[in-house]
Structure 1
Amino acid sequence: MKEINYIIDLPLPITQDFKSLKKEGLAHIQKVSGNEWTNLNPSDPGVTILDQLCYALTELGYCNDFPISDILTNSDDKLILKDQFYLPKEILTTSPITCNDYIKYIVDEVNEVENVVLLPIQSNLSYIKGVYIVYLSIVSTVKKPIEITTICRTTFYRLNKRRNMGELFMMPLPLEKITYTLNGKLQISNEVEVSKTLSLIENKINTYIFPKAIQEEDDQLLLDGEDTDTIYNGPEMRHGWISDANLGQKKDTITTRNLINIILSIEGVINIQELQISGAKNSDFVTSTTSQLLSFDLNKLEITYTNLKNDNSTTKTNALSLPDLSFDTASNNEEKLPKGKYRDINSYYSIQNTFPEIYAVGENAINSNASDFQIAQSRQLKGYLTLFDQILANQFSQLANVPQLFSFKNGITGTPSELKNFYTSKTSDEKEHLKYPVPYLSFSPTYFYQPLYTIPNIKPLLKNNDVFNFSLETRTKNVAEEMSWKKFKDDPYNSYIRGLQDLVEDETINLTRRNEMLDHLLARHGESPLLINTVIEGSIYTGNSDKDKIIIKSLYLQNLGLLSYYRFKGYNYLGAKKIEKIELELPLNLEQLLIDVSSVRFYLESEKDIIIPKNEKFENDFIFNTNKVDQIEKIRKQDFINYAALELQLNILLSLKTPYINYLENTLNNLEEKKCILCEHTQSQSEKCQDCKNQLEQIQQCLWFLKERRGLVCIENCLLYPFDNSIVITQSTKNGPYYKIKNFLSYTETIVLNTLLANATSCTIDTNSNGIELTINGTTTYELIETTQTVENINWEQVATIGSNCFFGISSENSPENAETIETITLLFPDYIPYFNTDYFKNRLDTLLENTLPIEVSYSYRFVSQENLNRFIPAFIDWHNNLVFNNSTYKKTTEVVSVLSNIMNKIPKE
């Protein structure tokens, strides 16, 4: 059938309908002018002007109907995404939260792991959210103990990179393979090779017992109609999505009926008879513990195969090794982004170019023979029409800057086209170092505009257009006028651009509109604007409440992708950076300290601290430089290794750095006015010097909080207090006696001991004059005491199969005396900074914590005195650095934990 092309004549929207716009314009003219304007025919100049304006409005209406993808497409035909949108995998995914999330994460991260058993050990303490035992199903090709140990350690490191607050992981262990032999008569067809059939049987049995987690390509799933929210619910996957159904669960009971059904489902298998499980207590079924993985040896099966063509039977015994079947599940996760077409919306073509020549407003309307009267008439009409031009040009500019209007980042100018033009003719060095002229700058504009230098013969209409009509060189009149005009256009301080800025921009309206737009963006990303406004009310950057809200909301949105992904994550105590010690020694003189502190404004955490000198102020002629703040406050993935996500979130929303800076500057000013040089006085000679000494210590503490801890100290108490699940050891899992380590173990010490036992080649328990001692590998010794605690629920692990009869397991142990009052996390702030120690700040902090933390994570916060900080900070540094870099040193860790715990207990809670 021949295809027929046709156009449907539909009414245009009024914004693109010239006749409707003109009709509405004429109606308005009649209403306003009454009987004063009677000639509304095309011959009337006023109607001609109306015609031109209506045509221009249809152009604007046409541009307004562009697809949003076109409006958001750059001149390089690429969609503007940065600071506009988060891709699904950036905003919908989260760092692992559930057990299934962690299993998917490990399978995706560690290539040699096929599946995982991850089980929580329930804790009775409030400050420990969950302790997990991890068992790995490792690919069969990995057999060497050293390789298996490396895989376990790699998994342990990966888990701690994604560990949530209050959660702890024991060192992963490989699933212990328990192999039973199958006896029976297997009849197969001779059409299939024996080894292939046996391989299929073994693979299917293993898959039934504990299937390998299957990863699928995101793109194909989307094409198949899978819901986006489902695909991206969980951690971001590098090698393909894993559904909960594709994770599979380990089966700990296998019956002969299960095995018969599996074997008969294999192509080429005709029958299986007299199947029994050799080596089991019951030949009809076998069971395994959580740490064990069942497997079956098929070598003892009596195999017969039938030649279907000649009907002959031959019996063979299977003595072939079974090949390993592996599958490549790598996938391509590239996002399919919408395509747009670049539209040069900002370019404006003046309506004066389309008027009939008789109106004398176009490019060649006035010639050199025109009289002064004709020139005056032309300029008078051009002045009238230029008002319409300016309004229309600004509307086109507003539409072109929709990407900026709804960007996470605050704009810096209301005329982006001039910003672009300013740098066009500059050298590369100038582009890097030349600052954008102040007159073009504004704080987060919401109305955009552009100059009309391209309107024909516009120069005489612009105020002070002749300010550059001078030169020390001899030039012709035309050349001089051309150069003067060029200098005027390039001058960001000319009267026209400044007047245009004053006319268009109203800071009060801009701030209100920008706040509302940021509220919309927050809500669009699932954040409550009401909550955010409540929390940030009172946070300080500029001293102007509306501006401060805009700055903080913008910062939060720019970093929301990472903050959302790592929302509940704790810091990585295995990989965090070393914390530098506080300089408690007093400086040689106050003048040097003034220089040191005055040079520090903010710190940008990265591979190396970047110091922003004070002379690079955040204000330039009273215009706040939001770009510099964006750079300084930018959160990087590395930060989530050194800090918990909560610390980074609190730093932004509560603007924690600014109170430190303000306090430092005020304190330094006070010290400077006292004119006290410490080296000239002693404490006994001058009471004033003691005050100065106290303030100097506070200054050093503040600098440490700024440089090392983002304005606060956050302690996860599960890493600080003695571990409530201790290791129990015995030489007989039936009769005892049972022993525990004499001293309380911290979490890291428990991990070390657990790892030593899991990988030990020998283990002995001896009683001598010194007491009871546990010796591991003949070298490492721990003191033991006998325990009478209940041990029925322990999953015992044998230390070594040769030369040892020791077993160990994890059991509930005595907890700290105040365990029921210990929260999951504790936050600490200096109490001498007025901003912190107020009911208003505490209420905001409570509001944020109560609405941010998971319900099972409890918290407390403390405001610490200078005296207590002098003791706490060194102890905290030793504990943190010892935890990260010396976590295998048993005695040192115990001493450090004890010191810090005692100091913490003496700091009063709020």
Structure 2
Amino acid sequence: MLIILLMKEINYIIDQPLPITQDFKSLKEEGLAHIQKVNGKEWTNLNPSDPGVTILDQLCYALTELGYCNDFPIQDILTNSDDKLIVKDQFYLPEEILTTSPITTKDYIRYIVDEVNDVVNALIVPVQSNLSYVKGVYRVYLSIDTRADNPVSIAAICNTVFYRLNKRRNIGELFLIPLPLKKTVYTLSGKLEISNEVSLSKILSLMEGQINNYIFPKVIQEDDNQLVLDGEDINIIYNGPEMKHGYISDSNLGEKKDTITTRNLLTIMLSVNGVINIQNLQINGINSDFVTSTTSELITFDLSTLEIIYTNIKNNNSITSNESLSGTDIPYANMTTGVSKFPKGKFRDINSYYSIQNTFPEIYAVGENAINSNASDFQIAQSRQLKGYLTLFDQVLANQFSQLANVPQLFSFKNGITGTPSELKNFYVSKTPDEKEHLKYPVPYLSFSPTYFYQSLYTIPNIKPLLKNNEAFNFSLEPRTKIVAEEISWKKFKDDPYNSYIRGLQNLIVDETINLDRRNEMLDHLLARHGESPLFINTVIEGSVYTGNSAKDKIIIKSLYLQNLGLLSYYRFKGYNYLGAKKIEEIKLELPLDIEQLLIDVASVRFYLESEKDITISKNEKFENDFIFNTNKVDQIEKIRKQDFINYAALELQLNILLSLKTPYINYLENALNNLEEKKCAPCENTQQQTEKCPDCKKQLEQIQQCLWFLKERKGLVCIENCLLYPFDHTIAITQSIENGPYYKMKDALSYTETIALYTFLENANTIAIDTDSNTGKIVLTINTVTYELLEITQTTSINWKQAVTIASDCFFGINLENSSENSESIATITLLFPDYIPYFNTDYFKNRLDTFLENTLPIEVSYNYHFINQETLNSFIPAYMDWYNNLIYNNLAYKKTTDTATTLFNIINNIPKM
């Protein structure tokens, strides 16, 4: 009885009014009211028997179906025929858009611990000099797992961390070589009373682990899926770098404690299971009840000198063999990160349209079998007249269903290529695999980034006679029956992308001006939805050229920006990895000069610059196919990959897209090459031997070389971080006796990269010696066979001395920093360089947009300047820049070469006139 009652309570219908879009009665009443208002005097019979009312009934039923589909859950609308949610180019997952490459020191600690297994925690502090901080320069101290506690392993771990840090180094930021925290060991005395002798080793190990964890905790990583289930805010979970082994909250990072009291120790030790009491606890060798440490030191305690007292009390809380010694270890081998939970959708075939003509009573003669072979011409004419009238309603309804079915395309990051996706699908259905790969979708169905969608009505019963030029294919050289010939003709008409019906439908639906405005507004919405200011983006891209049509160019650039926003947002402030970037190639232009081939090369640059495979194209191949812009090819070419953020700063990649830097170069190259091709100046007459002697042709040729280099090697600009180049006295301190000195540094001021190169050079040297030159009396350092002059300095306590690993040397060295705050201001600067002979660049309008972008994009501590360099200066700058850039990556053991290339480039930049 109870079950029956429960069932009665569950199974009931609530009489609630339907929304008007699904309420047949309300729709019909509204339709009748409109009829009476417009034509009430002449149309007085509004009973169901009236044909007009019957038509109204059919339309209202069709509208309720449309209203029903409009109420589908959004996940159903976004689910494709494979029952998979459409996510790509629609949404960014939480781990893609909420995470970011390390920015804060806490982010970097998370990143280091996640990347390098033997690092259990880290400390990152800004370098301080003359009581002020050096902008963007950081020291890194590592807490390393005791299992890797030997000099060789520690050195390898420090080098690994240094490499990882440079992979995620932000623009204008530098990291000194990481160092292990120096352990300062204190012994404890006192009486330790425990429950039994068997547990002694476990108790001491657990006690030591908990003391060490209190002083500098081991970082704990947690499964992000479990955190979501526990109710943790997603914004907090993903606020930081993407993690491989579990996410780390602020509370699980822990901080190093530099002051430890005996009271702290007592509390920790008494909390260990199995400890009964502790008496007279003292820290040996000091006259106080606390100890302190510096930033680079880590306090540890030796418990071996404690006096142990045993009792025979049974302790139910005795330590078990599987209890964690540190109290914080958790396994993370089985953790899974970045597994987003998708809502489950159900595929709804919204685009398929069932004509209202199929549901009319048979007497109306508009259905599938309404007209038979015995019908008179008058009856056929009546049927077709009504069908023509109803087909207008069918077309409007079918287009509305298409509009709803194409919501995924409407709000996609990518620009569409057709307003009739169903026709595109039908076009390829009957094609062979080879045709599907190489046969392009024909022009009349194509349009640039449509926002209105429509579909054909070929499935409407007996529609053929109503379509213009339907008999265009009623011819054949083969003998056929009339029925077979009509079937073949009808099929050819439907398959013909140039037929009058589809072309007319497109002309009716697509208004390019309205379409471009709508698409721009939709892209602005998508930008805002992802935290990007449409006003800022519009200001920056105003004037950027891609096709020459301003409205189209904005759509293309915004679309490209959104498609790449996941990576651009994640690496927003990242600098390039000067230890792992690809090599820059030198300027090459083979002689004799082949103008025709160069024109082809420039066309290749325009359209296939970023392709992963070599593509041969003809001189006249364009981005347009019968005047339709090939948006898919643009998306492929401009796609940003993770590798790009190794070779370029994120800033360079953003500028390349938003300011469309390729186009000005390509336009200039095409004009320059055409000028060379057409020019017949005396004495050169455009022959190769004379071109080399002709100043005008030589100048033009050099500019062509430089433009190709900027395009192929540097994304249209050169960006130099001053911190990697400018001297500001990063110093390697050297001594043969840490306690007694004397202490020396290099005579010449060093840049950051020179310091790292020298540090690496010292680490890998075969012989190191400090001597006095007998002739000059100068102190010199000899590394292998290379000699450098030294200056004596006063020892700085912050130096973390390291003994050189050499065959015959007892030298010690370490990084010191003695720059002034004035110099530190100049290193937190980036310098951008453009050629001045390209008209697009050296204008106030371009400079204003560049200023707007840089002021709103760069980290607040990083300043900037930019220069527009003439051809003559570029002739010396490009080789110098290339040598310096490549030397940082491929010759980091050759300290002397690093110094020479840096000095050459520094002098060239320093002599560029200030703007």
Give the 3 Å change call, closer, same or farther, for CA 106–44 of structure 1 in structure 2. same
Q: Which of the residues 312, 321, 331 maps onto 1:328?
A: 331
User: Which residue is equivalent to 2:319?
Assistant: none
Code of the aligned partner of 2:531: G
The answer to whether residue 404 in structure 2 is matched with residue 409 in structure 1 is: no
CA offsets 1:173-222 (integer angstroms, 9 cap, x no match): 22223333333221111297222222211111111111111111111212
Aligned equivalents of 2:254, 2:739: Cα separation in 1: 33
Which residues in structure 2 correspond to 1:614-633 (within 5 Å)?
Answer: 615-633=620-638
> Do the aligned partners of 1:732 and 1:807 also contact (CA within 8 Å) in 2?
no
Report the equivalent of 1:169. Answer: 175
Post-superposition CA distance 1:474-504 (Å, at most 9, x none): 2222111111111111111111000000011
Query: What is the SS of the residue equivalent to 2:85?
Result: coil
Q: Kindly provide the CA deviation profile for residues 226-259 of structure 1, in whole angstroms up to 9, marking residues without a partner as x.
A: 1121111111111111111111111222222221
Separation in 1, partners of 2:424, 2:121: 55
8 Å contact kept, 1:760–1:799: no
Q: Is residue 125–residue 820 contact of structure 1 (8 Å, CA) maintained in 2?
A: no
**Is residue 762–residue 778 contact of structure 1 (8 Å, CA) maintained in 2?**
yes
Q: What is the DSSP-based 3-state SS (H/G/I as helix, E as strand, rest coil) of the residue aligned with 1:662?
A: helix
After superposition, the Cα gap between the structure-2 partners of 1:133 and 1:193, relative to the gap in structure 1 and judged at 3 Å, is: same
- The letter of the residue matching 1:446 is T
For the structure 1 residues 287 and 781, does the alpha-carbon distance in structure 2 shift closer, same or farther, using more than 3 Å as the test?
A: farther
2:40 aligned to 20, 34, 42, which one?
34
> Residue 179 in 1 paired to residue 182 in 2?
no
Shift in Å, 1:132: 1.1
Read off the aligned partner of 2:332 and give its amino acid letter.
T
In the alignment, the residues of structure 1 paired with residue 130 and residue 912 of structure 2 have an alpha-carbon distance, to the nearest angstrom, of 24
Instruction: Name the SS for the 1:859 alignment partner.
Output: strand
Match of 1:23 in 2: 29
Query: Is 1:751 matched up with 2:748?
Result: no
Q: Secondary structure, in 3 states, of the residue corresponding to 2:250? A: coil
From 886, 891, 894, the counterpart of 2:891: 886
Local SS of the residue matching 1:76: coil
Give the match for residue 697 of structure 1: 702
Give, in whole Å, the separation in 1 of the partners of 2:682 and 2:175.
53
Displacement of 1:792: 5.6
Task: Give how far 1:638 is off.
Answer: 0.3
Paired residues for 1:128-147 under 5 Å? 129-147=135-153
Instruction: Report how far residue 14 of structure 1 moved.
Output: 0.3
Pick aligned residue for 1:55 from 44, 61, 69: 61
* Aligned partner (choices 151, 159, 163) of residue 157 of structure 1: 163
- What one-letter code is carried by the residue in structure 2 that aligns with 1:456? P
Corresponding residue to 1:443 among 445, 448, 468:
448
* Corresponding position of 1:231: 237
Shift of 1:604: 4.1
Give distance in 1, aligned partners of 2:428 and 2:269.
74
Aligned 8 A contact 2:48 2:54 in 1: yes
Deviation at 1:348, TM superposition (A): 0.3
Is it true that 1:221 corresponds to 2:224 in the alignment? no
Q: Secondary structure at the match of 1:89?
A: helix
Contact 1:383–1:461 under 8 Å retained in 2: yes
Instruction: Say if 2:549 is the partner of 1:541.
Output: no
Question: Which letter does structure 2 place at the counterpart of 1:529?
Answer: P
Residues 172 and 828 in structure 2, CA contact (< 8 A), matched pair in contact too: no
Range with bigger deviation, 734-743 or 504-513: 734-743
Match of 1:277 in 2: 283
In structure 2, what is the Cα distance between the partners aligned to 1:760 and 1:876?
A: 27
Counterpart-to-counterpart distance in 2, 1:395 and 1:901? 64
- On the 8 A contact 1:126/1:819 being kept in 2, the answer is no
Please give the secondary structure, in 2, of the residue aligned with 1:329.
Answer: coil
CA–CA distance in structure 2, aligned partners of residues 613 and 281 of structure 1: 84
CA contact (8 A) 2:684 2:690 kept: no
2:106 aligned partner: 100
Q: Distance in 2 between matches of 1:198 and 1:760?
A: 43
Distance 1:504 1:779 in 2: 79
Using the TM superposition, give the Cα deviation of residue 622 of structure 1 relative to its aligned residue in structure 2, in angstroms. Answer: 1.0
Is the alpha carbon distance of 1:103 and 1:677 closer, same or farther for their aligned partners in structure 2, counting shifts above 3 Å? farther
Letter in 2 for 1:399: L
Aligned match of 2:661? 656
For residues 323 and 566 of structure 1, the distance between their equivalents in structure 2, rounded to whole angstroms, comes to 35
Q: Which residue of 2 aligns with 1:256?
A: 262
Return the offset for 1:713. 0.6
CA contact (8 A) 1:763 1:799 kept: no
> What is the deviation of 1:134?
1.0
Structure 2: any 5+ residue segments left out of the alignment? 317-324
C-alpha displacement of 1:797? 2.8
- Which position in structure 2 is the counterpart of 1:318? none
Q: Secondary structure at the match of 1:307?
A: coil
Hey, what does 2:362 align to over in structure 1? 357
What residue number does 2:15 align with? Answer: 9
* Match of residue 337 from structure 1: 342
8 A Cα contact 1:705 1:711, kept in partner: yes
The equivalent of 1:315 in structure 2 is none
Q: 1:288 is aligned with what amino acid?
A: S
Q: Which residue of 2 is the match for residue 867 of structure 1?
A: 872
Moved more, 285-294 or 680-689: 680-689
Contact 1:759 / 1:799 at 8 angstroms: preserved in 2? no
Matched AA of 1:206: N
Q: Give the partner amino acid of 2:55.
A: I
The 3 A distance-change label for structure 1 pair 585 and 685 is closer
Q: Match of 2:53, as an amino acid?
A: V
> Cα RMSD over matched residues?
3.0
1:690 Cα shift?
A: 1.7
Q: Specify the SS of the correspondent of 1:502.
A: helix
Q: Tell me how far apart the structure 2 counterparts of residues 380 and 141 of structure 1 sit (CA, whole Å).
A: 90
The letter of the residue matching 2:252 is: N
Distance 2:798 2:857 in 1: 36
| 1:126–1:506 CA distance, 2 compared to 1 (3 A) | farther
Q: Which moved more, 1:505-514 or 1:599-608?
A: 599-608
Cα 1:784/1:678, change in 2 over 3 Å: farther
Query: Hey, what's the Cα distance between the residues in 1 that align with 2:467 and 2:639?
Result: 43
> Could you tell me which amino acid in structure 2 is paired with residue 328 of structure 1?
P
For 2:761 and 2:902, locate their aligned partners in 1 and report how far apart those are by CA, in whole Å.
21
Quickly say closer, same or farther: Cα 1:773–1:335, change in 2 above 3 A. farther
With over 3 angstroms needed to count, the CA separation of the structure-2 counterparts of 1:718 and 1:165, relative to structure 1, is same
The amino acid that maps onto 2:331 is D
Distance (whole Å) between structure 1 residues aligned to residue 502 and residue 830 of structure 2: 55
Residues 798, 437 of structure 1: alpha-carbon distance in 2 compared, 3 angstrom cutoff = closer
Give the conservation status (yes or no) of the 8 Å contact 1:412–1:444: yes
Aligned partners of 1:774 and 1:781 also within 8 Å: yes
Shift of 1:764: 5.9
- Structure 1 CA distance for aligned equivalents of residues 745 and 111 of structure 2: 34
Contact preservation (8 Å) 2:210, 2:326 = no
Q: 2:251 aligns with which of 231, 238, 245?
A: 245
Structure 1 residues 796, 138: closer, same or farther in 2, change over 3 A?
Answer: closer
- Give, in angstroms, the shift of residue 822 of structure 1: 6.5
Amino acid at match of 2:386: L
**Distance (Å, rounded) in 1 between the aligned partners of 2:130 and 2:499:** 72
Q: Which moved more, 1:849-858 or 1:504-513?
A: 849-858
What residue in structure 2 maps to residue 434 of structure 1?
439
Find the counterpart in structure 2 of residue 199 from structure 1. 205
Please state how far the C-alpha of 1:631 moved relative to its aligned partner. 0.5
**C-alpha distance 703-800 of structure 1, shift in aligned 2 (>3 A):** closer
* Farther-moved stretch of structure 1 (840-849 vs 584-593): 584-593
Q: Give the TM-score of the pair, scaled to structure 1.
A: 0.93
1:877 corresponds in structure 2 to 882
Is the 2:24–2:60 Cα contact (8 Å) retained in structure 1?
A: yes
1:317 alignment counterpart: none
Counterpart position of 1:799: 803
Distance 1:299 1:417, change over 3 A: same
Range that drifts further, 648-657 or 264-273 = 264-273
> Is contact 1:605-1:639 (8 Å) kept?
no
| Structure 1 residues 606 and 226, CA gap change in structure 2 (3 angstroms) | farther
The alpha-carbon deviation at position 593 of structure 1 amounts to: 3.5
Q: Deviations over 1:103-129 (max 9, x none)?
A: 000011111111001111147999974
Match of 1:67 in 2: 73
Provide the residue aligned with 1:346 in structure 2: 351
Unaligned runs of 5+ in 1: 312-321
Distance 1:741 1:686, change over 3 A: closer
